[in-house]
Structure 1
Amino acid sequence: MPGKIIMVTGGARSGKSEFAERYVLHYSPKCDYIATAEILDEEMAERVRLHRQRRDARWINHEAPYHAERTLEALSAETGAVLFDCLTVYMCNLLYGKDAPEGEFLERCQVVFDEIDKVLAAARNCGKIVVFVTNEVGSGIVPDNQMAR
């Protein structure tokens, strides 16, 4: 059975992750949670702590800042739904993280697009409902630098 993909989007710190957590639990009493953040500073450590605090024994947690398709391909049969939080952070990891491709910005973007295609294919093939959380970028003040845009 092909998986169903749902996207939850909203502004930064708008409550979209909490909404998505409640939403996913309507599909299955036990769910997978794919976390993409790397803790690189105190602010991120606090955000991750708050996210973890909300999740109880109904969640199977997976850390996947890179190669998330592998995590999607190896999910347990005991869950019926997956929350992927967050696609924006995952893309930033791919573009600027420790294994980021080299070259011009547009060349690096193509590598990232290829990686996202792998994640989407794995989501479609996992046989579960996969809810992706992503940030609504560009709807506020226009950032002053290329990376932020």
Structure 2
Amino acid sequence: MRAVFDGFWSGYVQPLLQRPVRVQMAALCYRTMDAKKQILLITSRDTGRWIIPKGWPISGKTSCETALQEAWEEAGVKSGSSETEAIGSYTYEKRFDNGLSATVETTVYPVAVETLSDSFPEADERNRKWVSPKEAANLVAEPELKKLLEDFD
């Protein structure tokens, strides 16, 4: 009887109760200074932790176009170029204003920054700074993002 219950639970009930993974697109903004790459990190609006620009899919935009849009809105990347191929992804737990959370799969696109603006939509809500890939990896919290940053160097 227990085996039947376990099979029913794991095969039918548990998958129905699990929330689907949500997806976001992120911009790994970088520049080269003195033949060394630097990564642009920004602070999150809620906790102030260091992150890279990211956001939900935007209707009518490709994933890499969405990443570029987020780079503008959250970090002030006025002009930059993005690869159409992602360099990887990472997961994190997104906490919503209502107290609930969800796992988010975030696809990361490299963005070569050409021009930064000091006036951008979220300028008053975030800080930003340029750091080495190694320092960026030490500053972010998500283990899979740390690995992407370490490998980006």
Structure that is richer in strand per residue:
2
Larger gyration radius, structure 1 or structure 2: 2
> Which structure carries more relative contact order (alpha carbon 8 Å, separation 6+)?
1
What is the TM-score when the length of structure 1 is the normalising length? 0.26
